[in-house]
Structure 1
Amino acid sequence: MPHLIDVTMFWSATGGGVRRYIHAKRAWLQAHTAWQHSVAAPGADGRDAVALPGVPLPGSGGYRAPLNRRAAARALVDRRPDLIESGDPYRLAWSALDAGQALGIPVVGFCHSDLPELLRRWTGRGGAAAGRLYLRHLYRQFDLVFAPSATVYAHLRDAGLQNVVQQGLGVDTGLFHPARRDPAWRQELGLADDVRVLLYAGRFAPEKNLSVLADAVRLLGPSHVLVAIGAGPCPPRGDQVRVLPFEPSQQALARALASADLFVHAGDQETFGLAALEAMACGCPVVVRDRAGLAELVSDEAGVRVARGRHADFAEAIAAALRHDREKQGLAARQQALRHDWSDAMRGLMGHYLRLMCTP
């Protein structure tokens, strides 16, 4: 029975895209294979979890920074996996490589974050160049690197990496479904029927640009409300903003997504865009920044892509989307999401795993 360990720093009690991907993978493996699956992360708990030592990372929304590369590698070696997947490019990625070398097993990386863009924001173009050099140095040591979108794939190839394949993520199209739409949802929030509800769900992190959405809603006027579901250090603020806590129930989240007028996302560093895809699967049209992974997910029929990140541009795009036929646009969004069902994504992922494990 093969044993896969996912190791990542991107693990929080209040969600995140990497956590959702790992949970979806585990559920699929349990339903369709005899594989054993473990998660190794600072703060990980529960069955088949490897809790690695770490300290809270300020401003991260619940992530913890690992303390000791060697100790983490030893913890991985002790579990005797047959395959390791690293979900971040930081210290634990090196621990995964150390453990893989000690055990003589394949190690794959999944590029869930845009490190060069993050460094560019902090330090300018020099930081972006340094980030690309670092990723090349790190990822060339992996047996294979997954890129969740064509944008990430191109960036990694441009950095000089040859061991990269595009491997998209997915959505449970049975769980996230238009049938979850419930008029009582907005009534429970005390919102009148004529209020246009714009929904964001995800981490409240700086790169999500939530202040842009709050300012756009203010510009649109009091008949528009932004409902933000999640947690993190940078929640949106304003008289027309309703902040709700992280929703651990996928069914409850699907109900909210299906019941909103629009899903909105101003982030410009999304390597894929799981939350937007979940909204589309629920038949909810989307307005997103025309950058990175989000730009690839959303067609003109399923929503609106915003070229610039200013709040006035988002306000204009939201107003345009609300003038469209929601039912027609929602159907197009649903059809787009059906092309990314988790079952298809997981079969592709398993193909890569099996080829690596069978390669001498």
Structure 2
Amino acid sequence: MEKTPASPALHLADVTMFWGPASGGVRRYLEAKRHHIAGCPDCQHSLLVPGPHPAWSADANQWLRQLPAWRLPAGDGYRFPLRSGPWREALIELAPDAIEAGDPYVTAHAAQAAAKQLGVPAVGFFHSDLSRLLALRCGDWVRPLSGRYLGRLYRRFDWMFAPSDVMASQLAELGVRHVSVQRLGVDTSIFRPSAVQPGLRDALGIPRDARLLVFAGRNTREKHVDQLVASLDELDGRYYLLLIGAGMPVGSHPRLRVVDYVADEHTLAAYLASADALLHAGDAETFGLVILEAMACGLPVVGVDAGATPELVDEAVGELVPTARAAALARGVTRLFERDWLATGAAARRRAVRHYGWGPQLDRQLLRMSQLCREGRVSDDSGAEASWPHKGSVSA
């Protein structure tokens, strides 16, 4: 029988190292995927992630399995698997119908090896721009090396998902042809304008007539948090900035407020909905999930015209600035509030609801996965299609 989302035998497994106590977009994507599949009696979902010790989830389905991995120094709690063998064996034990790898490291190689042994498709998701991240830390000399590595790795997957057009273009430049754009989504019943929390501004010591800008994310180099803070000096005293995330620069400006990492989506939505606009200086976004979450809360967005941000933001829902410098960011904020910024925020909410609900996004992905399970074709390292044996014809 062909396997489709209506077939009870469809079992999907995800594996990633992007799972930690302060995880961001990848974890929210995987949790949304889990919730969506839980509502489909025809599908089963398993997730394999790193942790301090071996463990299974406590619920009866035991859908989440944790394998021990080395904790990254200054890595916000992320852990890095050093050996692929235990991950390969755990995936083989799960015996899914398709495996999705969410990072380009050890777990990706384990996913490919397990899929080959099981005779099932291996799928990659290009969540992270590894070449750019390495170049920021090591210099541009590393780009050709990382590009060759990524090209070889991703050409060995049976299919690749990219969260944005810009990331799909990067895969094409690496010679990866079997790609589809799989955008992320937002739960518009949680992230909504009515999530505003009365009294939150008073609790933060923000005047009621202030214009509150907000950013949520990690304090990493490519987010340019220092430029967000510096933009306050380019703006008049009405403007305050709220930073939400681990490692933010507490006390670095009198009109700056900082809240530690927020794991609960309802709490994050309350902070976002209580602000007036999102100020986002990231110029290397692979998708920009917090942008979408802010839009769903009815916030207009000031962002940088780079990375995937322009795929979400235009003049109808905010302002784009040419660089992630404080002066440019401040000019974007000024232009936004010279307009009818409330109407712009309302347009942002409408766009999020109309185009980015999790349900349609994940239904599209499940359709692609079911097609891969049916087709019995893969692409080899050269990009040419080759036959692969269906699950059950290879001994585990």
Q: Could you tell me which amino acid in structure 2 is paired with residue 227 of structure 1?
A: L
Residue in structure 2 matched with residue 101 of structure 1 by the alignment? 116
Distance 1:119 1:98 in 2: 26
Residues 236, 135 of structure 1: alpha-carbon distance in 2 compared, 3 angstrom cutoff? farther
Deviates more, 1:156-165 or 1:171-180: 171-180
Give the drift of 1:5.
1.4
Q: CA deviation at 1:21?
A: 0.2
Distance 1:237 1:79, change over 3 A: farther
Cα deviations across residues 265-290 of structure 1 (Å, max 9, x unaligned)? 11111100111001001110111111
Q: 1:88-134: per-residue Cα shift (whole Å, max 9, x none)?
A: 01111101111111111111000001112112223333322222211
Q: TM-score, normalised on structure 1?
A: 0.95
Larger Rg computed on CA atoms: 2
The alpha-carbon distance between structure 1 residues 71 and 236, as it changes in their structure 2 partners (threshold 3 A), is: farther
1:178-232 Cα deviation digits (max 9, x unpaired): 2223442212222111222111112222221111101112332443221111224
Structure 2 Cα separation of the partners of residues 158 and 249 of structure 1: 37
Match of 1:283 among 292, 295, 298: 298
1:58 is the counterpart of 2:77: no
CA 1:206–1:59: 2 relative to 1, 3 Å: farther
Residue in 2 aligned with 1:303?
A: 318
Aligned-partner Cα distance in 1 for 2:56–2:217:
21
Q: Percent identity?
A: 40
2-side partners of 1:327 and 1:312: how far apart?
Answer: 23
The 1-side partners of 2:251 and 2:310 are apart by: 23
**What are the residue-to-residue correspondences of 1:104-253 with 2, within 5 Å?**
104-232=119-247, 237-253=252-268
Of Structure 1 and Structure 2, the greater helix share is in 1
311-320 or 46-55: bigger deviation: 46-55
Number of paired residues? 360
The two structures, once aligned, show a CA RMSD in angstroms of: 1.8
Aligned AA for 2:375?
T
Q: 1:89 maps to what in 2? A: 104
Which one is further off, 307-316 or 202-211?
Answer: 202-211
CA contact (8 A) 1:205 1:234 kept: no
TM-score, structure 2 as length reference: 0.87
2:361 to 345, 351, 354: 345
Equivalent residues of 1:273, 1:294 under 8 A apart: yes
1:15 offset after TM fit, Å? 2.7
Q: Deviations over 1:54-110 (max 9, x none)?
A: 111123322111121112111211121221110001111101111111111111000
User: Aligned AA for 2:260?
Assistant: P
1:214 aligned counterpart, secondary structure: helix
Distance 2:366 2:269 in 1: 27
Q: Which residue of 2 aligns with 1:4?
A: 12
